[in-house]
Amino acid sequence: MKKQTINIVWLKRDIRSQDHRPFQKAEQANVPYIIIYLFEPKFINYPDTSLRHLQFVYHSIKTLNNTLEPFNKKVTVLYTDAVTAINFLSDTYEIKNVFSYQESGVLATWQRDKKVKQICKINNINWQEYQRDGILRGIKNRQDWSTQWHKTMHQPVIKNTFNNTEKVEVLEHKYLLPRELESKLKVYPKQYQPAGEINAWRYLKSFAAKRGFKYQKHISKPTESRMSCSRLSPYLAWGNISVKQAFQFIGTHPNGTKNSNAFSAMLTRLHWHCHFIQKFEVECAYETHCVNKGYELLEHPINEDYIKAWKTGTTGYPLIDACMRAVAETGWINFRMRAMLVSFLTLNLDQDWREGTYHLARLFLDYEPGIHYPQFQMQAGTTGVNTVRLYNPVKNSLEHDPEGLFIKKWIPELANVPVSYIHEPWKMSLMEQTFCGVIIGEDYPLPIVDLQTSAKAARDKIWGHKKHPAVENEKDHILNTHVKPRKK
């Protein structure tokens, strides 16, 4: 029997219906198409992935299916690797084109994509990959990158339309989600930001309507930032909204005139979003290797107790512990608190940055490899070209959580500690500890390291290494590849 000719839209980190090039091309092609999303066991089990990411994806697909239902379209979910999926679909259909966005992911997805390319070639399938959010593939330096990116951001948003065309039945297959996994995915814990395209717009609109007016004033405050930051990151990371959609919405919003500082600060960060992903697109080895190879020479003896205390929010430093517990519970904390967590692990505790990257990747609902690894390494001081920032958790706590409200919310053991001691509870006398119902060292830990001595040791170690020839040798390559050349 002659196979039906079809096209495929392969969704990755672009689970939305609008400003979507692959959907546009599929609709224009005059060939029936199916939409697939692959839950690939290899990536589900990869150490950067967690149930919360998969739940977010699953519920984003659900929203998309609701949007597509009137057009007789639905995402086909397959639980298998991409090569098996393409082979299976090729056995069933004559596949003309696969339309997808390029993925700037970890090395493993890059290797997967190379295999998919081969399989497509063998099966005579044209795999058409489109540029995502102004990220350029194959560039050798940043000459002209910013100009190109701004041009992309100002191009018209794609207004996708869907015709009620012939439905392609996906035949019975054995690649169904395992029942146990699917029942976990169907749950969506209330403490996470709600998934999907509709919610992405809700968050963007409420930011521009009011929430974002105090953006800069609150950006570093662990409590207030939860309201004043855009909270767009999970939607951008999983592609419920494109960077261009967000950029144009904020850039042209009538409230921008009165809130120009706040709105332009947000636009700058959308630029950073892509700037970091572009770094990773060029060098995805940053997942596992120091940006500046010279920093591989530094040794960081593993201390399992330190790592455990950091991961479980039991270091004895209230703001550190509150942040770790908050992100474990909700999937989000602001930039400064993320940077502080990394600085504490890698500088104060002197642990290798690789001991913490996957842990936070799994906790961040907005995990985006292209931002995560380069940012992590910047804060860990392994680039050799950025200023190394040591975040003092007591100072940050006094400045950004002066009343200790964030701390008390996330560390119930400290709920009755007076404000005068909330940042340094170990300074309470035993009698004061008894009064407020917490014995430091029993109910809540003593600080695991001394801040001043550990900070000095870190400065000597990391700063001291900056002039090492192995670090110096790498600097030119890093600057030439990732930094816009300065005008002479």
Ligand X SMILES: Cc1cc2nc3c(=O)[nH]c(=O)nc-3n(C[C@H](O)[C@H](O)[C@H](O)COP(=O)(O)OP(=O)(O)OC[C@H]3O[C@@H](n4cnc5c(N)ncnc54)[C@H](O)[C@@H]3O)c2cc1C
Residue number with CB closer to ligand X (273 or 408): 273
Q: From the centroid of its chain, how far is CA 305?
A: 27
Both structure tokens of 299: 């040794």
As a whole number of angstroms, the distance between CA 253 and CA 229 comes to 17
Q: Is 478 in the site for ligand X (CB under 6 A)?
A: no
Contact mark string toward ligand X, 191..220, x via CB under 6 A: ------------------------------
Q: Is 315 in the site for ligand X (CB under 6 A)?
A: no
- In the complex, the smallest distance separating the C-beta of residue 429 from ligand X, rounded to whole angstroms, is 37
109, 334, 348, 397: which one binds ligand X (CB under 6 A): 334
**In angstroms, what is the C-alpha Rg of the chain?**
24
- In the complex, the smallest distance separating the C-beta of residue 369 from ligand X, rounded to whole angstroms, is 7
As a whole number of angstroms, the distance between CA 288 and CA 235 comes to 26
Residue number with CB closer to ligand X (377 or 397): 377
6, 339, 411, 417: which one binds ligand X (CB under 6 A): 339
Residue number with CB closer to ligand X (98 or 361): 361
**The dihedral formed by the CA atoms of 400, 403, 409 and 411, expressed in degrees to the nearest 10:** 90
338, 354, 359, 423: which one binds ligand X (CB under 6 A): 338
> What letter represents residue 174's amino acid?
K
Contact mark string toward ligand X, 229..268, x via CB under 6 A: xxxxx--xx----------------------------x--
Can you list the pairs that 211-215 forms with residues at least 24 positions away whose Cβ atoms lie under 8 Å?
Answer: 212/259, 212/262, 212/263, 212/266, 213/255, 213/259, 213/262, 214/262, 215/259, 215/262, 215/263, 215/265, 215/266
85, 185, 342, 478: which one binds ligand X (CB under 6 A): 342
379, 383, 392, 433: which one binds ligand X (CB under 6 A): 379
- In the complex, the smallest distance separating the C-beta of residue 365 from ligand X, rounded to whole angstroms, is 9
> In this structure, how many other beta carbons lie within 10 angstroms of the beta carbon of residue 444?
20
Q: Is 372 in the site for ligand X (CB under 6 A)?
A: yes
Task: Spell out the alpha helix ranges (H) of 438-485.
Answer: 451-458, 464-465, 469-482
Q: Is 366 in the site for ligand X (CB under 6 A)?
A: yes
Please state the length of the chain. Answer: 488
For 68, 77, 166, 242, 343, the CA distances from 62, given in Å and listed in that order, are 10, 11, 21, 18, 38
Residue number with CB closer to ligand X (229 or 417): 229
> In this structure, how many other beta carbons lie within 10 angstroms of the beta carbon of residue 27?
18
Encode 324-388 in three state secondary structure: HHHHHHHCCCCHHHHHHHHHHHHHHCCCCHHHCHHHHHHHCCCCCHHHHHHHHHHHHCCCCCCCC
Using CB under 6 A, count the residues that bind ligand X.
27
371, 388, 407, 428: which one binds ligand X (CB under 6 A): 371
145, 247, 376, 406: which one binds ligand X (CB under 6 A): 376
- In the complex, the smallest distance separating the C-beta of residue 145 from ligand X, rounded to whole angstroms, is 15
Q: Is 391 in the site for ligand X (CB under 6 A)?
A: no
Interface with ligand X (CB under 6 A): 229-233, 236-237, 266, 269-270, 272-273, 276, 334-335, 338-339, 342, 364, 366-368, 371-372, 375-376, 379
